Chains A and B, each alone.
Chain A
Amino acid sequence: MHPLSQIITEISEIFGDLGFAMADGPEAESIFNNFDALNVPADHPSRDMQDTFFVDENTVLRTHTSPVQVRYMQNNKPPIRIVAAGKVFRNEATDATHEAQFYQLEGLCIDKEISMAHLKGVLETFFRRFFGEDAKVRFRPSFFPFVEPGVEVDMSCFKCGGKGCSLCKQTGWVEVLGAGLVHPNVLEASGINSKEWQGFAFGVGLDRIAMMKYGVDDIRAFYTGDLQFVEQF
């Protein structure tokens, strides 16, 4: 099975046990769902944070799986727990660590009195089951328009156990994903009362965690269709 499919299978089980269902959405997405509904207004510099492919004046190739959140919130009432794995697109020059298409996993939890501590708890469980029992989670301040507070999430390096190695550039930690508490504007844009409900969201590059987990050194290998690659997994 393709390594990304293996990872999606593992993730669906881990998050299934935590009460999350797999959700989906289209790859060609409305600009509204991809940006506006996620608190990235038109003509705001935060739109430049992701290099976007444009299909027409109302449509882009989704730059992240976050519009799946929007679709789910528009069509379902809270409490909500979903994860969505899917292809996303960025108009960036490709090299060993960048692809114009790659896979992302989106997580969304909407409930009452959800905190950063819950976010930490869920990510800790995810990393422990996925990378190993010793995995630790660390937050650093960051900015994503659709969350507030927004954090960059590091995981203790599973390869060296935090002692420092080439994978973690001797720091003992690897940057894994972006996350935070869902911005009230995002909840309101999807018709959810932000006074009553809160939640957390996170987004993680599946190719990146697959590369770390299996030691793949070139992201492009996932999409060559070369059986010499696929059959190793």
Chain B
Amino acid sequence: MKVSYNWLQEYFNDKLPAVEDLTRGLTFHAFEIDGVEQVQGDKIIDVDVLPNRASDCLSHNGIASEISAIFDLPIKTFPESLFNLDSNITSVGVKVETDLCSRYIGVKIENIKIAESPDWLKSGLENLGQRSINNLVDATNFCLLMFGQPLHAFDADKVAGGITVRLARDGEEMITLDNKELKLDSTMVVIADDEGVLALAGIKGGKKAEVTEVTKNVILESANFSGLSVRKTAQKVGIRTDASKRFENGLAVELAEKGMRELIGMILKFNPEAKNSDLTDIGSKSEVVTTVTLPVKLVGQRLGVEIDGVEITKLLNKINIKTEIDGDHILATVPAVRLDLRLPEDLIEEVGRLYGYEKITSVDLPVKKPEPHASSFLKTQTVRVKLLPLGFSEIYNRTFADKGEVFIANPLAKDKPYLRTNLSDGMIEKIEFNLKNVLFDDKSVKIFEVGTAFPKVGEEEMRVVIGVGYTKAKFHTKSEDIKKALETLGLSEGDVKISKSETMTVAEFGLSKIAEGDFADLKSFVHPDTIYKRFSVFPRIIRDIALFVPEGTTPESVAEIIKENAGDLCVRGPILFDEFHKDGKVSLAYRLVFQSPDRTLSDDETNQIMEKIITELEKNTDFEVRK
């Protein structure tokens, strides 16, 4: 909810705290603030009003009340609305045929002129992210932002007969103000005249009685519709509006009249010649009064602070809760707009946030011996403690897959609408992926994962997958890694599902097959002080360099020269991978990996670096670089 600092100021005779102090107060006592935006002559505060406070705080009135409570600033009393109800024009005929509408107020206003809004209203709405349309529509939006009560206007000359609030007929059609054609059904509430649908109740107005530049006479609506019904209909037709959002969360029926009176007052101010009818007001005029019995002791006990009945009532009174102390209980009468306050716990939260959570001093829990850990945890840790020392690294793969048995009705990625049936497919992919980074053919990729597979609809299993891969088949053939890993876990090849290719072996099995073991040694694999270094995702270039050096030259000293001249783009190496002695000389071979953090490296660039290294090496006249 975006609110205007200037508008909020109008609620108070005292000067509001500076915007930084105001938002800090709101943050620690009411709402998270998503941001403050400086606009021409005003500051717009974006308040994150969550569903529990939607009934009263999706409005400037609501936020002003919070500010009043938090900063102890009294709210001004406003003069009663100015409009004259002694009009002689006929009232609007309203029939309410469904209990999904608990209140409907209709008013007719004649002889208005649709015009541009005055500047204050135009810029006021635009600052709050609304589009200014004309002085009538803008007035309804202004009143919505003031009270949180949605309001609507129909062109009275386009309404045939009276207003009926009823369920739509199956297959009935309407065209919305923004020209969407909707097919309605009998679960939806509509506003209709004697000919057809005028509006989808609480969601969107229709084309039939649209207010246009030439409108002279209007019917205004201020109503209260069932939140559940509005929500279901809005979901069905796929339209969400500022109005539907407020109805969905529930609104007090009292607001309908407040919003309507303000709106009439505004329209009459813009149109001094206009005449209004009386209110046609159908349905309940007020919410059932809610009184909550709050045990005084419970407040301090739950919050963990020392607080007495007098202090509690003082805090509750700040947010317009009437209180009466009755022995060791407080009888708290909740204001109509606070549809969220029904239980003692709800009131305890109100006391807590106004009292200030910062005043809570932490207390330790009494000592308790823990129950046994879940078996899945013990087994998972056992797998880890057995595989990590064998040189396997653990990965976490993704659950979504391009094939499977369990289908997601609303997938995020259209090409991965399934849940994985096994862990092996993902493991094979990751081995292939990691093999691209292996520098030597005799070095393997060894990884494992513990995760959930969804083999069939309604089935879910924790599984383990272990994989080993080489770039060349001949090294893979000789590998005993999987066999050793399974032995260590107490399993044989018959217990697991093996997938094998020339260069890769992957073994998968249910976590339940593992015996729970001692995993105290896992501690040595926990490195809380690790500082992560970002690595490049751009392709790397591998280069080798081989040279003859005199006997007695250490490989380290040669590596040093290479390193010094390889520059920042050399991300790994020099790695000595070959060394032999021949005719009083030593042959040394090193591998280097070049990679840029922010681009694809060119061969030319790498060649230049290699040239430089060779030139430097050859400055030692007894070094002979093999080319």
Contacts and interface: CB of A to CB of B under 8 A. Distances in A.
13 contacts: A4-B396, A9-B522, A48-B51, A53-B411, A87-B451, A91-B410, A124-B362, A137-B362, A139-B360, A143-B51, A214-B530, A223-B398, A225-B447
A233 B384 CA distance: 14
Nearest to B531: A215
B231 A215 contact: no
A190 interface: no
Interface string B432-443: 011001000000
A117 B365 CA distance: 9
A230 B526 contact: no
A108 B54 CA distance: 28
A118 B304 contact: yes
Interface of A: 1-6, 9-10, 12, 16, 18-24, 26-28, 43-46, 48-49, 53-56, 61, 76, 79, 81-82, 84, 87, 89, 91-94, 100-101, 109, 111, 113, 115-118, 120-122, 124-125, 130, 137-143, 145, 148-152, 181, 183-184, 198, 213-217, 222-223, 225-233
B210 interface: no
A87 B430 CA distance: 20
B28 interface: yes
B345 interface: yes
Contacts of A142: 32, 50
Given A113-B301, A115-B303, A87 B399 contact: yes
Interface majority SS (helix, strand, loop, mixed), chain A: mixed
B409 A54 contact: yes
Given A140-B28, A184-B345, A21 B397 contact: no
Contact of B363 (A49, A121, A149): A121
Contact of A120 (B348, B360, B377, B447): B360
A138 B356 CA distance: 11
Contact of A26 (B345, B460, B534): B460
Contacts of B232: 43
A150 B349 contact: yes
Given A140-B27, A214-B531, A109 B411 contact: no
Contacts of B398: 101, 223
Contact of A138 (B358, B394, B406): B358
B32 A24 contact: no
Given A56-B409, A116-B352, A225-B396, 13 more contacts: A1-B394, A4-B396, A9-B381, A22-B374, A28-B460, A43-B228, A55-B419, A87-B451, A100-B412, A118-B364, A130-B528, A143-B51, A225-B434
Nearest to B248: A45
B367 interface: yes
Nearest to A109: B365
Interface of B: 27-32, 50-54, 227-228, 231-232, 248-249, 301-305, 343, 345-346, 348-349, 352-353, 357-358, 360-374, 376-377, 381, 384, 388, 393-400, 406-412, 419, 426, 429-430, 433-434, 437, 445, 447, 449, 451-452, 454, 457, 460, 522-523, 525-528, 530-535
B29 A215 contact: no
B532 A91 contact: no
A199 B241 CA distance: 38
The 6 closest A-B pairs by CB, nearest first: A117-B304, A115-B304, A149-B349, A19-B368, A225-B430, A139-B357
B528 A6 contact: yes
Contact of A19 (B30, B370, B377, B408): B370
A141 B353 contact: yes
B27 A93 contact: no
A232 B358 contact: no
Contacts of A109: 365
B353 A21 contact: no
Contact of B384 (A1, A55, A79): A1
Contact of B346 (A101, A125, A130, A148): A148
